[in-house]
Structure 1
């Protein structure tokens, strides 16, 4: 998943945006409330989508946020980690209020956002946190440069917004569990990992171990599956994204670890295949999640 964010923000504008949207906060808080194991088919989790899964639905040459929200509602989901092309970062109080109204009308709480390319530019980084605070995001999934962490230490402390390093897969500098763990070890506890299960599998890493290693420093989970085809002649064909439950992810084991951690951020299904019409595949993925949650209730 990629991010394309270019608009500027100021503290004054974002404070104005927060005031303009204040009337919508009560509904947002109710939607955002953490469910208990008895409340529904997804047990203790804030089950939702990384809205990148619905990037193929377009309107006027851009990803259609209204269509994506309507599909999310139809799937019975109430949480998003938003893809920036669906909710572009903006300083406009009117735009922020409009996006809040759109999401809340469909009963969807946007509780995460990304993936954000942080750098050493502290004031540029601050703008993302100002936006996150105005929109009431709990965390930002991120691809931070190695020289950005001094800035991020200050910003997560100031704003109370978590940062989860997103592992992008083979060859990326954050491909491996131990690499991320080493990078964050001496930094603020609000800096951790956004676990992308599919990309960890593609990197021959175990997502269940990732959950055990990062523990309370998990800020976001991108739930997707990969199947290894050992007989593939082309290395690019060896590890393929697939419907959840059809690949190598130990979904029930992962959810057991997350439940034990009382994980409270978005459990975001992210499906990268069948871009133009992913809905039936998403339904199949969600059935796998419900089955896995069912095993938690029995244990």
Structure 2
């Protein structure tokens, strides 16, 4: 397990900022990476509740899930959605994950276009990948396939996705879920370096074991060595989003989210 002692003084300060109501000072992280939230974290909460939690932990980027903004949303609904984000100081940087065997590919890209997203995170049917590549070219929108570990036989780890897209348009890439990557037995730090040019998005999480039995925990408490991951991010000069996807205590996630955000910021500031 990754030790958190080295970062406790730094992260405790960040956590105080995250959960306090009147504190405005915050440490400035060296080489800070863009931190976001994966929308799935909030699938039990309304958009208003989601934005309030993001405000509490001072995270300003959101990957938009369709339970907050449905794919068939009207122009007025999209406008109202983004007005709420603007009022909360939040940017919707991508949409997804979108996808199953019955997904309307054209509809998904049209949705991204109407929303103004430059990145779709997807879990497509294998048969749809050639069609997705065509839409990537048509809409000039990047598409990142999300790996899902041993629970998803098509997209288990970064390598499985890379093998499918390595000869496609360079706007076809990977959303590297580091927790699922290690649950399949792969090394997310090594995979980050190997497939850097095709990794468009990262889902930050940690798990209890490097196997299918691994379960979600706070970012600093699991088997993934987050300082090594941050070192790799610096090494490859990663410029994409690092989005926390917190899947423990999903009925009441705020404290775990705050701890995870504080830990990541503390590691980056080390």
Q: TM-score, normalising length from structure 1?
A: 0.75
Deviation sequence 1:187-243 (CA, Å, 0-9, x none): 1111111011111121111111221122121121110001129xxxxx97x312111
Q: Is residue 2:39 matched to residue 1:51?
A: yes
1:131, CA displacement in angstroms? 1.4
- Which of 223, 240, 247 lines up with 1:248 in the alignment? 223
| Higher relative contact order, structure no. (Cα contacts within 8 Å, ≥ 6 residues apart) | 2
Structure 2 CA distance for partners of 1:43 and 1:77, relative to 1, 3 Å: farther
1:120, CA displacement in angstroms? 8.9
Distance in 2 between residues matched to 1:120 and 1:216, nearest whole Å: 29
Distance in 2 between residues matched to 1:171 and 1:280, nearest whole Å: 27
1:171, CA displacement in angstroms? 4.1
Q: Is residue 2:235 matched to residue 1:279?
A: no
**Number of the residue aligned with 1:136:** 116
**Number of the residue aligned with 2:97:** 115
Unaligned runs of 5+ in 2: 1-26
**Number of the residue aligned with 1:82:** 64
Quick check: 1:118–1:148 contact (8 Å CA) kept in 2? no
1:91, CA displacement in angstroms? 4.3
Q: TM-score, normalising length from structure 2?
A: 0.83
Structure 2 CA distance for partners of 1:283 and 1:165, relative to 1, 3 Å: same
- The CA RMSD over aligned residues, in Å, is 2.1
Deviation sequence 1:218-270 (CA, Å, 0-9, x none): 121110001129xxxxx97x312111110011212222222333333321101
1:76, CA displacement in angstroms? 0.6
Quick check: 2:148–2:156 contact (8 Å CA) kept in 1? yes
Deviation sequence 1:19-77 (CA, Å, 0-9, x none): xxxxxxxxxxxxxxxxxxxx9437442211112212233xxxxxx11110111012111
Show the 5 A alignment for 1:220-231: 220-228=201-209
Q: Is residue 2:128 matched to residue 1:148?
A: yes
1:85, CA displacement in angstroms? 1.0
- Which of 157, 166, 169 lines up with 1:188 in the alignment? 169
Number of equivalenced pairs? 243
